[in-house]
Amino acid sequence: MHADRGEQELAHSKLDHACLDACIDCSGSKCCGAISYGGIIEPPFLTAFDIAQIEKGLGLKPDEFSDLRKNPNTGNDVRFLRTNPNGGCFYLDSGRCKIHDFRPVDCRLFPMDIRRLEGMNKWVIYNFQHCELSEGDFSLLKSQMPPALSILGDELEDYASVPVPGMVNLMYSIISPV
Ligand code: SF4
Ligand code: SF4
C-alpha cells in the first residue's frame, strides 16, 4: 500500500487530535517520561510523514531530533525520536507534549500498536498498568486506525517488524488483524 503526500495530509486531518480521557489525569511521566532504547517503552517510530511534520514544525533537520536504526527484518533504515540522555522524551515538558499537534503517529496510537506476530501484522493494545482507558478512549483509538494506516503506507512493515526488545516484556491483547 502506498499513500502519496496528499493522501497522507488528508489522513492526518482525519486523526482525532484529542487526548485520551486516561491521559488527562496522568502526567505522561509513565509513558513519554519513561521511554528509552531497550526500555519497556521504546522511543516513538517516525514515519517519513512524521519526520516532515517535525522538520517543518521545529525547523530542525532529522539528525537533530531522531536516531537511525537498521531494521534487520527488512534491511531498511528507520528513525526513532531522540530521547534525553537519561531517558524520557526530549519533547515532554512539565507533563505536556511540546509537539502535540504534529506528534508522531506512534504516539497517537499508544497504548495501541501494530505488531508482526507469527508472520501477520496485528493491531494490539498493551496492558500498560498506567493507562486506565474508558470506553470513549477505545473508540477514539479505533477511529485512529484507518488514518494511521494511510500515513504509514508502505512503512507499515518496518513499523510492525522493527525489533523493540524492551517492549516484549509488555503484555498485550490482540484486537484484530491489520
Ligand atoms: S498513554 Fe497511558 S501512561 Fe501515557 S499519559 Fe496516557 S494514560 Fe498515562
Ligand atoms: S512526542 Fe510527545 S507524545 Fe510523543 S513521546 Fe514525546 S512527549 Fe510523548
Q: Which domain holds residue 116?
A: 5-177
Segment 90-127, tens digit of pLDDT? 999 988 899 999 999 999 999 999 999 999 999 999 99
Segment 70-91, tens digit of pLDDT? 999 999 999 999 999 888 999 9
Residues within 6 Å of ligand 2 by CB: 32, 35, 44, 81, 89, 91-92, 97, 99, 103-104, 107
- Cα(21) to centroid of ligand 1, in Å? 9
> CA angle, corner 90, sides to 74 and 34, nearest 5?
75
- Ligand 1 atom closest to the CA of 23, numbered from 1: 6
**Whether 74 contacts 158, CB under 8 Å:** yes
CA distance 42 to 88: 10
**Whether 84 contacts 36, CB under 8 Å:** no
b vs e for 1-19, b when ≥16 Cβ sit within 10 Å of the residue's Cβ? eebeeeebeebbeebeeee
In the chain, the number of structural domains is: 1
Residues within 6 Å of ligand 1 by CB: 20, 22-23, 26, 28, 30-31, 110-111, 128, 130-131
**Whether 31 contacts 19, CB under 8 Å:** no
- Cα(86) to centroid of ligand 1, in Å? 20
Residue nearest to atom 4 of ligand 2 (CA): 107
Please indicate whether residue 141 or residue 24 has the higher confidence score (pLDDT): 141
pTM of this prediction?
0.92
**Whether 92 contacts 26, CB under 8 Å:** no
CA distance 146 to 156: 12
